[in-house]
Amino acid sequence: MALLDSGRYTRQIKLPEIGPPGQAKLARSRVLIAGAGGLGSLSSLYLAAAGVGHLIIADHDHVELSNLNRQLLHSEASLGKPKVASASRRLGQLNSAISITEAQVKIDHGSIDDLLKGVDLIVDGCDNYPARQVLNRASLRRSLPLVFGGVKGFDGMISSFVPGSSPCFECIIQDPNIFKPDTLKPGTPTPDNGILGATAGMIASMQAMEAIKLLLTIGTPLTNRLVRISGLDMRITTAELTPNPDCKACSPVKQE
C-alpha cells in the first residue's frame, strides 16, 4: 500500500492539511490520466510521487522523437513503444508502491465507461476537443471532478470542473478549432501547434495540485475560475466562470 512506503511521504504528511489521514486517502484514490503526453506526463509523475494509490493511464499513441521536448515521462529508450507502456515503466520506477493500469485505447464514447470504473477524479491530458468532450460528458454522468488543462506555445490555461458546483467544460470551451488566449472560448490545441516543454510543465504541475486538493477536499480549487498563464511575460489572469444556460452538455433544458 502506498501509505506504508516508509519515509517517502514524510514531508507532505507534515502538512496539516494532509497528515496521515490525508495520505491514507490518497493511497485509496483512483485517478484517470487521460493522455500520456505533455500534460499527462508531468501530472502523473507528481500524483505518483504524492502516493495516489492507483493511476489509470489512457493513451492510444506511441512515443515519437518530437514528443520528448515536453513529454518527460518518456525517453529515447521508449521511442516507438506505446506511451502507456513507457508511462507505466517510468511511474513504477518512481513509486513501486502504487498500482498503474495501462489502457492503450482511444478515449471515446465506446471506451470511457470502462476507463472510469472505480475512478474518483479525471485529469485531462488530451490534445483534441472530441476527447475532452467525451471526458466532460462522462464527468457529468458520473459526478466526477474533471481537472482541465490546455496549452499552446508559451501559454496555458487550467480550471476544475465539478458537477453540481461549477460550469462544465462545454459551458466555457465551445470552439473546437481555435485557441484564442484573449477570449473565454478558446479551442483546443492540436499536436501540430508549437509548444515549449516548460509550458506543459507549468499547467501539469497545477493540475496535480488541483487533483490532490479535490481528492482531499482541502484548499480552494479552481472551480468557477479559469486561470490563464502567458509564459513570455509571465502574466497570470483569472476569469470568473458562470454556467451557460444553453449548454448542450449540462443545461437541464438543453441537455442531449
**pLDDT string in tens for the chain (256-residue length):** 455 555 899 999 999 999 999 999 999 999 999 999 999 999 999 999 999 999 999 999 999 999 999 999 999 999 999 999 999 999 999 999 999 999 999 999 999 999 999 999 999 999 899 999 999 999 999 999 999 999 999 999 999 999 999 999 999 987 666 444 333 344 444 446 799 999 999 999 999 999 999 999 999 999 999 999 999 999 999 999 999 999 999 987 544 4
Chain mean position to CA 90: 18
Say how many domains are in the chain.
Answer: 1
Residues 6+ apart with CB under 8 A from 36: 44, 57, 58, 59, 61, 71, 73, 74, 83, 84, 86, 87, 125
Full residue range of the structural domain in which residue 8 is found:
2-153+190-217
User: Grid coordinates in use for 37?
Assistant: 503526453
User: Grid coordinates in use for 51?
Assistant: 502516493
Please report whether residue 197 resides in a domain.
Answer: yes
Please report whether residue 104 resides in a domain.
Answer: yes
What CATH number does the domain containing 77 carry? 3.40.50.720
Instruction: Please tell me what DSSP assigns to residue 196.
Output: -
Please report whether residue 182 resides in a domain.
Answer: no
108: helix, strand or coil: coil
Please state, in angstroms and rounded to a whole number, the distance separating the CA atoms of residues 4 and 79: 34
Please report whether residue 58 resides in a domain.
Answer: yes
